[in-house]
Structure 1
Amino acid sequence: MHSATLQENHSIDSFFNVVETATLALFEYLSLEFLDEFDVFAPAETGRTREHQPPEMMRGFLHCYYHDVYGIRPVARELQNTFVWLSCGFDRPPSRDAVDRFLTDLEHVVDEVFDHLVEQAARRGLLDLTYSIDSTDVRAMPADQDASKCYDPTTEEYYHGYGCTIVSTGQKIPIAAEFTESKQAPEETAMRVTRDALAVAQPIWMLGDSAYDTLDWHDYLLAAGVVPVAPYNARNTDDPLDIEYRIEDRITEHSADIQLHQSTLDETYNRRTGVERTNEAVKNCGLGRTHARGRVHARAQVFLALCLRLVVAITNDERGDNPGSTIITV
């Protein structure tokens, strides 16, 4: 960043007022240099180089999502603001084409970017020993032809959009996720997201609602040394068992020496509301309603929202504030 650039646009005194904004605080402890390692961001075979580097472009998108700015044109317009592009690390404002190109490339690796940020959160001790899994709705633009009519059993209503299955822990920390065609995801999705979560770190408990009352999910977790707690769904059988949680039946299949008291299961299951709070926190970051047409762009926005949630949590933790807060206080 050159002083001449500052003097050309605004006084240095005016520029340093930006130091007190949430944007610079958002990036103060964040390492995004790993983005340079992805092949998708390498120079084109024709020799064409990028006008702006991936870390600064990512900071630009995170700034915009934090301030509820979505879509290629609105993001490009926001990044024309001198204070914004300077605080995001640009040496000049990016063009609309540069913004579009970065998002197009990011779509190929955005889930891996999310995984890198999960690792940063884990290294800071932001995970705990209780994981929760849940699915949430992702509302789409009416013009999005890739989206479909989905049913939300929680609100008992239909909506136009997609879904997202999330595993969270700690103070609203998402650690694994998968973008889905609807809120009601198949069992295979639950298994994949569960495996991804356990690959980060192994918890003691994994909590889910009655939608996760499946034998494969329970047996996989028990074999991994994790105790699954999901309400028993008597509608799954013609001969219902006299139990409240599926684990009461499955635990005997794995160990005759372990007993789980009803009060312990009830107390543990009550913590599942944490994933619902995580869902709301991520929706505040842009997951709730996509502002892009097409499944690929919608998926990118969902994972960018998940990334932003992690960045806000990491920033608040480093600043000595509550990592569960959805805002950064400056």
Structure 2
Amino acid sequence: MSSATLRDDPSVESFFNLVATETLALFEHLSFEFLDEYEVFVPSEAGRTRDHEPSELMRGFLHCYYKNIYGIRPVTRELQNTFVWLGCGFDRPPSRDTVDRFLTDLEHVADEVFDYLVEQAAVRGLLDLTYSIDSTDVRTMPADQDASKCYDPTTEEYYYGYGCTIVSTGSKIPIAAEFTVSKQAPEETAMRVTRDALAVDQPVWMIGDSAYDTLDWHDYLLTAGVVPIAPYNPRNTDDPLDIEYRVEDRIDEHSEDVQLKQSTLDETYNRRSGVERTNEAVKDCGLGHVRARGRVHARAQVFLALCLRLVVAITNDERGDNPGSTIITV
């Protein structure tokens, strides 16, 4: 039976509707056609035309990640399913080489796609006035020669892979992120991700754990009109300050008019668990299942997981459901 007549066949109509509805629920409120304009996706050989549009392949990857299907071969197999490739907008199923090439090319524009979805979440009012920043592990296969043995101080164990620093807000909404070589991100990464987050919108509070107890991070946020809250870490100082949070000292030094209650700082810092829930939600969307061979594919898959988390949140919000849920109810 041809795909042209498949939709009209009563014997498969109900099954097609089930699969298509689940798939299209991810895309009905969002357009990915802007991807088709990126020159990075143009075939390298002169005279060649695209076999498939980038927007179709983006839909295909998001569908697969939502279904917990990861890796080039498994994604290709899933997109051979007639109901799936029809639901994602393909004229015919893509080949393995096409899927592989798209993931490689996507890495060049992954930040821009993520930023586009963050804007969509912002205009829908899904952000709030408290931002949280944290790093998480990105575990991959030992076959990935670009990955390295990393240490996770939270679990006090070693793992093989990379890391990701995320700023989140609202109902498990990631709004800024950076792929890193390990979970222990350098201060420069924290500053860059913080600037990216404030470029989306200005919060009242910015929360981080003791790893963000740095003068540059605090002073940058205070200058921007944001209150940073990170536990004071005396490190190896011989004369530790009598404070709980670094911001107490920074405000005392730079302002005579501003005062913060200890109870307010404690209450606000307790919201830091929000970024941990965001990390777990993004792991449910694929961050915890990176099947990569090489840094390029790993980074692309990390941003695909971040994008899927945003798509699910936006879709649930548009359908009147809880944007914090990682499941779309059909």
TM class by shorter chain equals over 0.9
User: Partner residue of 2:286?
Assistant: 286
CA distance in 2, matches of 1:317, 1:180: 31
The verdict on how the C-alpha distance between 1:61 and 1:40 changes in structure 2, with shifts beyond 3 A counting, is same
Please state how far the C-alpha of 1:54 moved relative to its aligned partner.
Answer: 1.0
Structural mapping, 1:59-208, within 5 Å: 59-208=59-208
User: Partner residue of 1:37?
Assistant: 37
CA distance in 2, matches of 1:4, 1:21: 18
User: Partner residue of 1:258?
Assistant: 258
Q: How does the TM-score come out when normalised to structure 2?
A: 0.95
Contact 1:222 1:254 in 2 (8 A): no
Please state how far the C-alpha of 1:237 moved relative to its aligned partner.
Answer: 2.2
Identity of aligned residues (%): 85
CA distance in 1, matches of 2:201, 2:127: 8
Task: Say which is worse superposed, 201-210 or 141-150, in terms of deviation.
Answer: 141-150
- 1:270-315 deviations in whole A, cap 9, x for unaligned? 0000000000000001111310111111111101000000000000
3-state DSSP of counterpart to 2:25: helix
Contact 1:148 1:162 in 2 (8 A): yes
CA distance in 2, matches of 1:172, 1:312: 11
3-state DSSP of counterpart to 1:107: helix
Please state how far the C-alpha of 1:47 moved relative to its aligned partner.
Answer: 2.1
CA distance in 2, matches of 1:239, 1:252: 17
Task: Say which is worse superposed, 26-35 or 73-82, in terms of deviation.
Answer: 26-35
Q: How does the TM-score come out when normalised to structure 1?
A: 0.95
CA distance in 2, matches of 1:283, 1:19: 24
The verdict on how the C-alpha distance between 1:246 and 1:294 changes in structure 2, with shifts beyond 3 A counting, is same
Contact 1:251 1:258 in 2 (8 A): yes
CA distance in 2, matches of 1:273, 1:159: 23
CA distance in 2, matches of 1:43, 1:295: 22
- 1:124-167 deviations in whole A, cap 9, x for unaligned? 11111100000000111011121111111110111111100000
CA distance in 2, matches of 1:41, 1:184: 33
Please state how far the C-alpha of 1:44 moved relative to its aligned partner.
Answer: 4.1
CA distance in 1, matches of 2:7, 2:120: 36
The reply on whether 1:310 has 2:323 as its aligned counterpart is: no
The verdict on how the C-alpha distance between 1:61 and 1:154 changes in structure 2, with shifts beyond 3 A counting, is same
Task: Say which is worse superposed, 257-266 or 237-246, in terms of deviation.
Answer: 237-246
Contact 2:114 2:306 in 1 (8 A): yes
CA distance in 2, matches of 1:312, 1:305: 11
CA distance in 1, matches of 2:15, 2:98: 24
CA distance in 2, matches of 1:317, 1:286: 21
Contact 1:43 1:49 in 2 (8 A): yes
Structural mapping, 1:218-237, within 5 Å: 218-237=218-237
Please state how far the C-alpha of 1:5 moved relative to its aligned partner.
Answer: 4.2
Please state how far the C-alpha of 1:91 moved relative to its aligned partner.
Answer: 1.6
Contact 2:70 2:289 in 1 (8 A): no
The verdict on how the C-alpha distance between 1:238 and 1:97 changes in structure 2, with shifts beyond 3 A counting, is same
User: Partner residue of 1:24?
Assistant: 24
User: Partner residue of 2:215?
Assistant: 215
3-state DSSP of counterpart to 2:161: strand
- Count of residue correspondences: 329
The verdict on how the C-alpha distance between 1:68 and 1:3 changes in structure 2, with shifts beyond 3 A counting, is closer
CA distance in 2, matches of 1:101, 1:308: 20
CA distance in 2, matches of 1:10, 1:103: 36
Structure 2 letter corresponding to 1:160: Y
Please state how far the C-alpha of 1:10 moved relative to its aligned partner.
Answer: 7.8
CA distance in 1, matches of 2:236, 2:37: 47
Q: CA RMSD in A?
A: 1.7
User: Partner residue of 1:50?
Assistant: 50
Contact 1:290 1:301 in 2 (8 A): yes
CA distance in 2, matches of 1:82, 1:313: 27
The verdict on how the C-alpha distance between 1:164 and 1:158 changes in structure 2, with shifts beyond 3 A counting, is same
Runs of 5+ in structure 1 lacking a partner? none
CA distance in 2, matches of 1:153, 1:273: 17
Task: Say which is worse superposed, 253-262 or 309-318, in terms of deviation.
Answer: 253-262
- 1:163-193 deviations in whole A, cap 9, x for unaligned? 0000000000000000001101110010000
The verdict on how the C-alpha distance between 1:3 and 1:179 changes in structure 2, with shifts beyond 3 A counting, is closer
